[in-house]
Structure 1
Amino acid sequence: MPESRRNHLPQLPDADHFRSLEWIEKANAPVLAIGKDYGSGLKVPPHSHSRTQLWWARHGVVLVHTPGGRWMIPPGHALLIPAGTEHSAEMVSDVRMHSIYISADASPADRPLVLEITALVASLIDALVGAESEESSERREQLIMDLLLAEIPRLAERPLGLPFPQNQRLASLCRQFLKAPSATATIDQWADRMGISRRSFTRLFRQETGISFVTWRQQACIFGSLPRIADGEPIIAVALDAGYENVAAFTTMFRRMLGAPPSLYLRGQSG
């Protein structure tokens, strides 16, 4: 594959991050593919691209921050980041990422989306990232890119985005909750902490986040559980710490949001 369309980056110090950004901005190819390894705990500083990015967690779990929310990328999923969106990232575990950069016109998304990667799209991305020794004709590369661009809009969205409020008092409660998510937290408790009525709180919360408090709470609990499950902690401990009465209730919520039970999900996606 021509060098202008593919770049293999080893695990690099954080200082080299902007070097790869410069390569992305200067390249002329319609689709760019990058494979990169990150160590657990590594933080990527805030930045943006003139292209839309499809950031796929080949292995590991990543937490991405944007001005408007938090986004979890577990194995087998990708975050579609619209062009011009400032974002930073934190590696929850050792991570192997495959990123695709495409023109903003080719992806009209106006907000970040967590998408489930199909076997077909995974194979197409792998083919573009490829190996340095791989021989590939420009015709084949073009066919792969065209099919990938056609498949991306067909990917299923998963509710792993966590919108964050601009209201400082409410944002403070949200940050505290993320440190210790609990499925038993109630609207009345949060309303009392803000010193407002239940009705005012529910209206404010939806205005600030675009979703209900209950939906946000459920998503936040999954946010808290994914890194722990990725670290191999017992599911029963994760479920009870999140405030669920039993593993069955936790598994039902997990399956509804991610399409598979926690006992199989990360093991199957990262195997």
Structure 2
Amino acid sequence: MTFDPIDRTGAERPVETADHRALRLAAVEAAVEPAVAYSHFYDDDEHVAEHEHGRAQLLHPSVGVVTVTTRAGRWMVPPGHALWIPAGVRHAVDTIGRVDMHSVYVLPDAISGLPAHLHVTGLTPLMRSLIAEAVRLRPEAATPRAGYILGALLHEILHLPQRPLGLPFPSQRRLAQLCREFLVQPTAHLKIDHWADAAGMSRRSFTRLFRSETGLSLTAWRQQACLMAALPRLAAGETVTAVALDLGYDSVPAFTTMFCRVMGAPPKTYLRAQATA
């Protein structure tokens, strides 16, 4: 079921205004159905201030890339992926490129087994089709077909593969500041000893605290930060060589090995698959 204030005449749809966003979010809160779906557009470099929903949100940019920031960290969502945001989690959204956003809002108890943690997922071919159909439904389309589409969509959420495109931030203030500074200019040459010295800790104490605060080793965290910096640039058409060297990798094969280990395919293969999905 979709609330859509934009006329569907085949012309290019305008960017969602603040007024349209307020109407959409009000409709989300007023809905009684287990799931409701919306399609909306954002300009490049647009910022949506921190907010929360009474429903969980499955956020899927079919075009463009978004980053979502919470007090616990930052998540990047490229095309072909989605972000599951549990109900009540405060978050802000920033766009990279013009974004065609599809959002499915789900009651927390719509079905049993819904995820309780915020994370990026891949999209199965079935889920892509279900979301595409769900955002075309109109409010008056409370038909058996609409019920089947949304019901299948709810159950497919349970089968979405999790992707390592999140960067949890430590709660310890100095560690969090080091992480934020790193994101301004990520590099493959991050040194544990340098960060331990900056935090005023021994290497052993630092590595133990960083893992306990983030759930990741500093090496794994650094790899994911570099990957999140690389993906939007690669999707925008920059060469693998330029991105790899700019991030400080000693060679393109070293970058490709990291990318393949985390994403399951080399950069060109991965991007080609996302473009044809």
In 2, are the aligned partners of 1:58 and 1:97 still within 8 Å (CA)?
A: yes
Q: Secondary structure at the match of 1:61?
A: strand
* CA offsets 1:100-134 (integer angstroms, 9 cap, x no match): 111111353222111101111000111111266x9
What pairs up with 1:33-112 in 2 under 5 angstroms? 33-105=37-109, 106=111, 108-112=114-118
Q: Using the aligned pairs only, state the percent identity.
A: 48
Residue of structure 1 in register with 2:21 after alignment: 17
Per the TM alignment, residue 45 of structure 1 is displaced from its structure 2 partner at its CA by 0.9
**Quick one: distance in 2 between partners of 1:150 and 1:16?**
29
In 2, are the aligned partners of 1:59 and 1:270 still within 8 Å (CA)?
A: no
Q: How many residues align?
A: 266
**Quick one: distance in 2 between partners of 1:7 and 1:136?**
11
Q: Secondary structure at the match of 2:3?
A: strand
TM-score, with structure 2 as normaliser: 0.90
Larger deviation, residues 7-16 vs 24-33: 7-16
Per the TM alignment, residue 50 of structure 1 is displaced from its structure 2 partner at its CA by 0.8
In 1, are the aligned partners of 2:79 and 2:274 still within 8 Å (CA)?
A: yes
Q: Secondary structure at the match of 2:48?
A: strand
Poorly superposed stretches of 4+, deviation over 3 Å: 134-137
Unmatched segments (≥5 aa) in structure 2: 7-13
Corresponding position: 1:6 with 2:2: yes
TM-score, with structure 1 as normaliser: 0.92
**Quick one: distance in 1 between partners of 2:222 and 2:79?**
22
Residue of structure 1 in register with 2:260 after alignment: 255
**Quick one: distance in 2 between partners of 1:108 and 1:124?**
17
Corresponding position: 1:208 with 2:231: no
Q: Secondary structure at the match of 1:104?
A: coil
Change in CA separation of 1:216 and 1:25 when aligned onto 2, cut-off 3 Å: same
Per the TM alignment, residue 15 of structure 1 is displaced from its structure 2 partner at its CA by 5.4
Corresponding position: 1:159 with 2:155: no
Per the TM alignment, residue 261 of structure 1 is displaced from its structure 2 partner at its CA by 2.1
Match of 1:124 among 130, 139, 144: 130
In 1, are the aligned partners of 2:122 and 2:163 still within 8 Å (CA)?
A: yes
Per the TM alignment, residue 79 of structure 1 is displaced from its structure 2 partner at its CA by 0.1
Match of 2:227 among 204, 222, 227: 222
Residue type of the alignment partner of 1:256: R
Residue of structure 2 in register with 1:246 after alignment: 251
Per the TM alignment, residue 238 of structure 1 is displaced from its structure 2 partner at its CA by 0.7
Per the TM alignment, residue 135 of structure 1 is displaced from its structure 2 partner at its CA by 9.9
In 1, are the aligned partners of 2:35 and 2:154 still within 8 Å (CA)?
A: no
Change in CA separation of 1:75 and 1:161 when aligned onto 2, cut-off 3 Å: same
Larger deviation, residues 163-172 vs 255-264: 255-264
In 2, are the aligned partners of 1:54 and 1:80 still within 8 Å (CA)?
A: yes
In 2, are the aligned partners of 1:34 and 1:99 still within 8 Å (CA)?
A: yes
Per the TM alignment, residue 16 of structure 1 is displaced from its structure 2 partner at its CA by 4.2
Query: Which structure features the higher share of helix residues?
Result: 1
**Quick one: distance in 1 between partners of 2:174 and 2:142?**
56
Corresponding position: 1:231 with 2:265: no
In 2, are the aligned partners of 1:17 and 1:44 still within 8 Å (CA)?
A: no
**Quick one: distance in 1 between partners of 2:251 and 2:18?**
41
Residue type of the alignment partner of 1:127: E
In 2, are the aligned partners of 1:25 and 1:50 still within 8 Å (CA)?
A: yes
Cα RMSD (Å) of the superposition? Answer: 1.9
Unmatched segments (≥5 aa) in structure 1: none
**Quick one: distance in 1 between partners of 2:176 and 2:232?**
22
